[in-house]
Chain A
Amino acid sequence: MNAPARAAPAIAPDVQALRPEVRDALAALLLSLADDEFVLGFADSEWTGIAPLLEEDVAMSSLAQDELGHARAFYGLLADVVGEDPDVLAYDRQPDDYRHCRLLDHPRGDWAFTMARRYLYDTADAVRLEALAASIYAPLAALVTKVRREETYHLLHVDAWLRRLAETPGEPRDRLLAALGALASDATSVFTPLPGETALVAAGILPEPMAELRGRWLRALAVTFAQLDLPMPPSASDPGGRKGHSDAFRWLWGEFTSVRRLDPQAVW
């Protein structure tokens, strides 16, 4: 099910050799990947201890840990590009400087909302990662190959939950429909075009433009949603889909930066 990633023709990870506009665009790409996984990981961790089933408590805690691990690795690659400490990148920014997609700006909501959002994000992320596995930037392609294998378990999990909710009439399906309605306008925000994206595509670091990936994701989503008789989100993409974050995110930011702000020297 996870086709082996094409072996990327490696380029030396000497980021100093990249043209400045390509390097800046690479940094924007890595920041978007890291921030997406970081914010999602913290949002998932909100379920630890209060998930509707013990099994799901374990699952959501594992998912959260996976996403934070991916975020740490992406911040690590970003640190190599911009020459900054990964913890500084992760924790020492103001809420408006984060570049996660707006899909992840919503509060966790109820269980159906969490699963609906995760389904939209995980399937979109899978399309994005499949493309990045062929990046000529070797450190990114290698990491993405690893991350995709772990994400396979996430996809199985959310797919099972989407079907369970969609196929159970009454409250489960009603709650799922309400969630998809609330998320619809932000559904494609994973594929918000990146600053400097043209240079990144030309350099082969981002193998395809975000608009192309968005189209591929929507076509795959349409097949599943037709089977389950679920309404498709609008296909348009807001160019500001990674900016202007919500109050819900400001609250989450306050939570996940609280230890860092209390004691910047704290170590595990």
Chain B
Amino acid sequence: MNPSARPSELGRRETHTTAKPDADGRLGRQQTHDESTVLEMLRDVHDPEIPTVSLVELGIVHRVEVGPDRIAVELLPTFTGCPALEVMRADVEARLSGLAQTVDVRFTTAVPWTSDRISGIGRAQLRSAGFAPPDPEVFEVGATVACPYCGSGRTRMENAFGPTLCRSIWYCTACRQPFEQFKSV
């Protein structure tokens, strides 16, 4: 399920218009933006530690509110202690800067980020980078995951702790390839 399509979390839709001055400084073509166009822009903002996958597809973008002068974005930390949170916050802020007078980006723990928030596209993006995506539905530590290289289920966890908080280290006994999993949490 694509997190960008969760209407309950995206609230009321509002459309606002930003006047963009043209090369001569005149207010010309009008650019309209609302929550869905803001989300579309955030698809370009990638995870600082896994740059093939976007924050939107990871389900990190919880809420977007577009008002006349202010865009507010709430993000969910994948892991509470993730050291990349400030980088993500700044990247989102930079991507939206200029769209409104105030761009307010903050993290919230009001709802927990869980690995089932990663969209189908996000899972494919993770696999293409050599990461096994977490199980979409079940939070079960120790569950077997399919090798992102050969698809075999003959894999074993080597270490629940990997190079970042959100990654564990696995080994595929079928193709003899070590790989990482984006942890189920």
Binding site for B on A (CB under 8 A): 1-2, 55, 58-59, 61-63, 65-70, 72-73, 138-139, 142-143, 145-147, 149-150, 152-153, 156-157, 268
Contacts and interface: CB of A to CB of B under 8 A. Distances in A.
B113 A146 contact: yes
A65 B141 contact: no
B109 A156 contact: no
B185 A62 contact: no
Given A2-B139, A153-B141, A63 B161 contact: yes
Interface in B132-185: 139-142, 158-163, 165, 183, 185
B80 A66 contact: yes
A69 B166 CA distance: 13
Interface string B69-94: 00000000101111100100000000
Nearest to A143: B109
- Mostly helix, strand, loop or mixed at chain B's interface? loop
Given A55-B159, A149-B185, A66 B140 contact: no
Which of A62, A65, A139 has most B Cβ within 10 Å?
A62
B4 interface: no
Nearest to B167: A62
Nearest to B112: A146
Interface residues of B, number: 26
Contacts of B113: 146
Contacts of B86: 268
B142 A142 contact: no
A156 B142 contact: yes
B80 A58 contact: no
A157 B162 CA distance: 13
Contact of B79 (A150, A152, A157, A268): A150
B179 to A, nearest CB: 16
B116 to A, nearest CB: 12
Which of A72, A143, A153, A156 has most B Cβ within 10 Å?
A153
Contacts of B159: 55, 58-59
Contact of B112 (A55, A139, A149, A268): A149
A150 B158 CA distance: 18
Interface in B90-111: 109-111
A22 B120 CA distance: 46
A138 B183 CA distance: 26
Contacts of B79: 66, 69, 150
A62 B86 CA distance: 18
A68 B85 CA distance: 14
B114 interface: yes
A149 B79 CA distance: 10
A145 B80 contact: no
B160 to A, nearest CB: 5
Given A65-B83, A138-B110, A150-B80, 18 more contacts: A1-B140, A2-B139, A55-B161, A58-B159, A63-B161, A65-B165, A66-B80, A66-B81, A69-B77, A69-B79, A69-B80, A69-B82, A142-B111, A146-B112, A149-B185, A150-B185, A153-B161, A156-B160
A66 B83 CA distance: 10
Given A58-B161, A142-B110, A70 B140 contact: no
Nearest to B85: A69
Which of B77, B82, B139, B159 has most A Cβ within 10 Å?
B159
Contacts of A58: 159, 161-163
Nearest to A139: B110
A149 B165 contact: no
A14 B110 CA distance: 14
B81 A67 contact: yes
A62 B141 contact: no
Contacts of B140: 1
A163 to B, nearest CB: 15
